Amino acid sequence: MLTRRALLEGAGAGTALAATGLALPKIDQAKAEIAGLSADLPSGVRGEAAMERLPGKQPLIKLTYRPPNYEAPIDYFKTPITPNDKFFVRYHLSDIPERIDIAKWTLSVGGDGANGSVDLSFADLKKMPAVEVVAVNQCSGNRRGLFQPHVPGVEWGYGAMGCAQWKGAKLKDILAKVGLKADAVEIVVDGADKGAVDKTPDFIKSIPVSKAMEDTTIVAYEMNGAPLPHFNGFPARLVVPGWTGTYWMKHLTSIKAVIKPFEGFWMKAAYRIPRDKFPGVKFASQESIGPNTPITEMVVNSLITSPSNGAKIKGKATVNGIAWDGGSGIKMVEVSGDGGKTWQKATLGKDLGKYAFRPWSAAVAVGKGEQKIMARATNNAGQGQLTELIQNPAGYHHNLYAAVAIIGV
């Protein structure tokens, strides 16, 4: 088990503060020095959050250390690819492996929905045909701390996400080694982390067979051209492009095909949303379990990466940011320099793929005094960001228009 001493290497300086939502973002320069936190987060979270280093990481915003939950400051999103050492860290269970011996690691593949079983070594995995995909990994609860009223859970700001180029073997090629039965409905995945006590439900997830069969659903062992960082799933993790990070199992140990819907705690009770309130594909085999439905695809969203909230600007502001969604791809981003009264199209940057961050930029005039800059994205399916939150108990899918408040001088 990782101890706090093993977890932390030190502390670093804070970065820029930003905010979102349709209300005028709050300017709090004092807290900007600490962690780049939104002033809209709960006061208790803002009081406890700090910039800390995990092994192999740049300073991240620590929200909890057991289990480790660290988000990236907004400054880390100024490029469409998030460097490995700036990538967020998310765990549900506190007993995570301090190190994994790659020579002894195996991936067990089988289940009652498979025709056989096999144990793959890391060398076996790397011998398989490799594919690469650029995709956003975003925690389902990203921006939960910005919900009003506040809801329980890790009170994330903006940085429980990142975009990387992932390399690994197709999940469907791995499943082909054991063969799927005709009545297999889900693929269940487990990792090496576990709860501190036996009564804690193990973090186990499932995805539909149809999603497992997509060419971009992979078991990744590289991230941005390097081995997976330990805190991002070494030696292998599941990558499920377009879907929220709850399915992206880290430190993979087993993959099982099953003939009945999986009803573990993290599927049956957690990570579920009200029916018919959000766009996205349905998880058909899970629909009969409970009164709600599993969260699946990410919703369309955007983030202003510069200028920072509270910045003092004269004459004209160059506004930069990123946009993303669940895989339709970004059609356009619009920017307003007058709090939403008028809008102009931003210039989209390089398209790294439909699952990636899409950079954008625009120039807006700056007058005297406080001024609200806003951005909104629309995807190729015609879905756009919201002006009013869709309330839900777990604080998922926060995608209000992006906004920062600047001061014209």
CATH homologous superfamily of 106-294 equals Oxidoreductase, molybdopterin-binding domain (3.90.420.10)
Are 133 and 353 spatial neighbours (Cβ–Cβ below 8 Å)?
yes
The more confident residue out of 49 and 228 is: 228
Q: Does 152 sit behind a cis peptide bond, omega within 30 degrees of 0 on the bond before it?
A: no
With a pLDDT cut of 90, the percent of the chain lying above it is 82
Q: Using one digit for the tens of pLDDT, what is the confidence trace for 120-144?
A: 999 999 999 999 999 999 999 999 9
Q: Using one digit for the tens of pLDDT, what is the confidence trace for 338-364?
A: 999 999 999 999 999 999 999 999 999
Residue 22 reports pLDDT greater than 50:
no
Residue 34 reports pLDDT greater than 60:
no
> What does the pLDDT read at residue 37?
74
> What does the pLDDT read at residue 47?
83
Of the listed ranges 78-87, 282-291, 345-354, 380-389, the least confidently predicted one is: 282-291
With a pLDDT cut of 70, the percent of the chain lying above it is 91
Pairing mode, strands 344-345 and 330-336: antiparallel
Are 333 and 319 spatial neighbours (Cβ–Cβ below 8 Å)?
no
Q: Report the Cα 168 to chain-centroid distance in Å.
A: 19
Are 244 and 137 spatial neighbours (Cβ–Cβ below 8 Å)?
no
The long-range contacts involving 123-127, CB below 8 angstroms and separated by at least 24 positions, are 125/168, 125/169, 125/174, 125/219, 125/221, 125/236, 126/221
> What does the pLDDT read at residue 239?
98
Of 67, 122, 58, residue with least CA distance to 91: 67
Class of CATH domain 301-408: mainly beta
Kindly report the average pLDDT of the chain as a whole number. Answer: 91
> What does the pLDDT read at residue 36?
59
Mean pLDDT of 322-330: 98
Pairing mode, strands 130-138 and 161-170: antiparallel
Domain residue ranges in the chain: 4-90, 106-294, 301-408
Distances (CA, A) of 266 to 167, 310, 393: 27, 39, 15
Residue 287, H or E segment: none
Using the CB atoms, write b or e for 248-263: b if 16+ within 10 Å: bbbbbbbbbbbeebbe
CA distance 101 to 104: 5
Q: Using one digit for the tens of pLDDT, what is the confidence trace for 240-254?
A: 999 999 999 999 999
Residue 31 reports pLDDT greater than 80:
no
Q: In sequence order, what DSSP letters do the residues of 220-250 get, joined into one string?
A: EEEETTEEPPGGGTTT-EEE-TTB-GGGS-S
Q: Using one digit for the tens of pLDDT, what is the confidence trace for 151-209?
A: 999 999 999 999 999 999 999 999 999 999 999 999 999 999 999 888 899 999 999 99
Residue 19 reports pLDDT greater than 90:
no
> What does the pLDDT read at residue 11?
32
